Amino acid sequence: MSPALSRHGPLAAGLALLLFLWAGPLVGRAETSFAAHMILHMGLVAVAAPILAFGLTRSVPALGARISPRFAILAALAEFVLVWSWHAPALHDAARRETWVLVIEQASFLTAGLLVWTAAFGTAEGARGARAAGVAALLMTSMHMTLLGALLLFAPRPLYACGDLCSPLSILTPLEDQQLGGVLMLIVGGSAYLVGGLSLLARLLNEKRDAQVPA
């Protein structure tokens, strides 16, 4: 593999995936299906964002050195606020009905996810305190996505008016569609951030253990 491909390949792959998500059929389906909306969301924050973030830290190595532990935690808090706000009934229904609101929603999802993953990958090469902050950012995001996914899955009734209005011909009931979306958030969103956080934590602990082993 050429050095240029090794350095810039991940970023190119992330951009290609982003193009597929936003130019493919999912955007249209997201207006009529909560589950499709969730696939688009998870595709952005749990798949495209980490690939793009990894690509950015490889293409621009100096980027990681500029990321502080405080930034990693603030990025995780920003994603928490954005994700929960956009899943409030009024904002979610607006994004399902109005294309311009959907564009803002999806752009904010990508931005938040990219900030968290870039912070995590950037701090992974920094001091121990910075790496711990990157781990905390990913694990905190995993926890709140798991909680939101469980809320969507176990809610006794549809939470969104658009469940009835936007998909009258769906083979799933609005509640079933919502439950499927909750499962997707649990499996894809919660797991992706959990695996990322645990991987960075294992690396941090291994380095600490190696440092304690006498030469």
Please tell me what DSSP assigns to residue 166: S
Domain boundaries, the chain: 11-212
Query: For 93-150, what is each residue's pLDDT tens digit?
Result: 999 889 899 999 999 999 999 999 988 887 766 556 677 888 899 999 999 999 999 9
Do residues 118 and 53 touch, judged by C-beta distance below 8 A?
yes
Task: Report the 10 Å Cβ neighbour count for 92.
Answer: 21
Do residues 44 and 53 touch, judged by C-beta distance below 8 A?
no
Work out the mean pLDDT of the chain and round it to a whole number. Answer: 86
Residues of the chain falling short of pLDDT 50: 215
Backbone phi, psi, residue 127, to 5°: -70, 165
Q: pTM higher than 0.85, yes or no?
A: yes
pLDDT given for residue 169 in this prediction: 52
